[in-house]
Amino acid sequence: MNLKGKKILLGVSGSIAAYKSALLVRLLVKAQAEVKVVMTESATEFITPLTLSTLSKNPVLTSFTKNEAGEWNNHVELGIWADLMVVAPATAKTLSKCASGHCDDLLTAVYLSARCPVFFAPAMDVDMFRHPSTRRNIEMLTAYGNHFISPEHGELASGLIGDGRLAEPENIVQILNAYVSNRPIAAAKRVLITAGPTVEPIDPVRFISNRSSGKMGYAIAEAFADAGALVTLVSGPTQLRTLHPNITTIHIETAAQMFDATQAHFESHDVVIFAAAVADYTPRHVAEQKIKKQGESMSLDLAKTTDIAGTLGQLKKPGQLAIGFALETENELGHALDKLTRKNFDYIVLNSLNDPGAGFAHDTNKITVIDKEQHVQQFDLKSKEAVAQDILNIVLAKWSEA
């Protein structure tokens, strides 16, 4: 593990998910990291400082003062000491305070003093996580250069099912390990990624599209950018945004526009990842005015769009990697292998709509990766951020071989 010898500061805030911090500390210590823990007062109601102190082999800090004599826990020294800071779980309140600079406890004071990369792993109920104020706070913290480990999908303490579960400790450690180990290999590499759907207009108000949210492509872009790569993201219409300084986003709408943008940047990039869900057909004629309802049926004359991945895959240079995606509903492996060969990919990432939690719109995915020698790697259902790390690690392994 590349976390060996790293000084990691773990911030624990007041969520029921705080119980997972015990396993997280244990895994970090097992990876031979040096761990110090800072807790909010409310976090101590869910897990005792003694538990985390025993596991971390360091005193757990909960306030500015150590004792009645007035000795204090120096937040500045803690912020300088750490190589990485992780806030897990990060509640909506803690996110809000860190985003606004509202510093009224030791944890937020340490965050404001930290000179190291900071990772936030949110945990809260689904509606709290989706609330515009929470989304705004996350956007602000991301703009400040912080990193986010997205919550996972599942049953919450409220009994609701949705996004908001703290990422599993194993996934958090994997992401931290990848961040530490991958930056030297990926530094200055250029990665081109397509993401999201395309929309093919029928008239000024209607269009043909699909259910792609863009979440997988954006997660891959963030993973490579965090690893030091320079990313060009060609994105179809989506509600997602990234403020990562290593990502340049080109917004497009139609398949033709995506082809033009991807083709223009294809040759200059080391890796091209075709994660977008591009329309296979587009209306041959677009009405200038809204089409009025007439008769019992309507026919559209559709023309085939350019196969972006297939066309550019044939132009791949030696040393350049091309990775495609295949979302299938039947004969999944057979269709994926056909795409892998026909489009000259080095790898294809297969997911099936028959797997619960995989495919469009979900925050999770379950993938199988096949290389051109037809070696097959199967992965469990994970958050899309964790899936992105798996894809990143495959590419980094390939670069290391070279």
**Do 116 and 87 touch, CB atoms closer than 8 A?**
no
Contact 62, 39 (CB under 8 A): yes
Active site residues: 210
Q: Is 290 annotated as a binding residue?
A: yes
CA distance 19 to 116: 25
What distance in Å separates the CA atoms of residue 39 and residue 105, rounded to the nearest whole number? 9
Instruction: Check residue 44 and give left, alpha or beta (phi > 0: left; psi -120 to 50: alpha).
Output: alpha
Q: Is 401 left (phi over 0), alpha (psi -120 to 50) or beta?
A: alpha
363 is in an annotated binding site: no
Q: Which phi and psi (to 5°) does residue 317 adopt?
A: -90, 160
Q: Tell whether residue 343 is among the known ligand binding residues.
A: yes
**Residue bearing tokens 């990502």:** 247
d(CA 254, CA 198): 5
Does 293 appear as a known binding residue? Answer: no
Residue 78 sits at φ, ψ, to 5 deg, of: -65, -45
Both tokens of residue 191?
């990665």
Q: Is 339 annotated as a binding residue?
A: yes
C-alpha 394/C-alpha 402 separation (Å) is 13
Which residue positions form the known binding site for CTP? 280, 290, 325, 339, 343
Which residue positions form the known binding site? 280, 290, 325, 339, 343
